[in-house]
Amino acid sequence: MEQRQKSELTKALILNESFKLFYENGFKTTSVDKIMKATKLTKGAFYHHYKSKKELGVEVISTHIQKRVYEGMIKPLYEEGNALELLENTFSGRLKSFSIYDKAHGCPMNNFINEIADEEQAYQIALKRIIEEWKAALVHLLERGQQEGSIIMTIAPKAIAIYLISAFEGVRGIRKLYNDDQILNDYMSGLSLYLTQLKA
């Protein structure tokens, strides 16, 4: 195996295991030692790729977490179809797709925001970039719906976008307190009722 390929595989292993450990145990309580134990690598291998745990944390946010949010909550908003149906299908469909593991641990992005976003500007920038991309997709879809006549003109797309993101992230966090999906079902019912109010 070429050295470059081996190096890339090592880095991918560190990223994958770190994301899992951060998600399950939190960022602060996951030490470099714990990451190395999970990967069965040496500290030398870690510091060959990353100057610090902070640098690793930023990359986990910018790769794994960004990809999760993009694939699940951003990309679907750019598909063709009725804007309100796309909104409901994207938000409700995403909640329905989560495994018991995902429901128990909440949203990785939201976990990072709550745990460390107020401590380092680097984390803030990486996390804010994801939120802004998500908000932009929602605004685009809402404005398209207005132009096509399926969404009322009196709404403010940016305000609605932030409301939808906040409600979704909130229920992801609240679900961690429960052992069943009733809270998610109630959220989806509320979402459906809310979206009917946006219909032109």
Confidence of residue 6 (pLDDT cuts 50, 70, 90): confident
Note the pLDDT of residue 5: 74
Question: What average pLDDT does range 87-107 have in this prediction?
Answer: 95
| Torsion angle in degrees (nearest 10) through CA of 38, 42, 46, 52 | 90
The C-alpha atoms of residue 113 and residue 105 are separated, in whole angstroms, by 14
Note the pLDDT of residue 97: 95
Note the pLDDT of residue 9: 85
Note the pLDDT of residue 8: 81
Tokens of 19: 């994301």
pTM of the full predicted structure?
0.91
The C-alpha atoms of residue 111 and residue 21 are separated, in whole angstroms, by 12
98 φ/ψ sector (left φ>0, alpha ψ -120 to 50, else beta): beta
Note the pLDDT of residue 92: 95
The larger pLDDT score, comparing residue 118 to residue 54, is at 54
Tokens of 160: 């609605």
The larger pLDDT score, comparing residue 130 to residue 42, is at 130
Confidence of residue 10 (pLDDT cuts 50, 70, 90): confident
Note the pLDDT of residue 11: 87
Confidence of residue 46 (pLDDT cuts 50, 70, 90): confident
Are 138 and 164 in contact by the 8 Å Cβ rule? The answer is yes
Taken in order of first residue, the domains within the chain and their CATH numbers are: 1-50 (1.10.10), 55-196 (1.10.357.10)
Are 32 and 43 in contact by the 8 Å Cβ rule? The answer is yes
Are 88 and 22 in contact by the 8 Å Cβ rule? The answer is no
pLDDT at residue 66 tops 90:
yes
Note the pLDDT of residue 1: 57
Question: What average pLDDT does range 25-40 have in this prediction?
Answer: 91
Q: What confidence tens digit (pLDDT) does each residue in 152-197 have?
A: 999 999 999 999 999 999 999 999 999 999 999 999 999 999 999 9
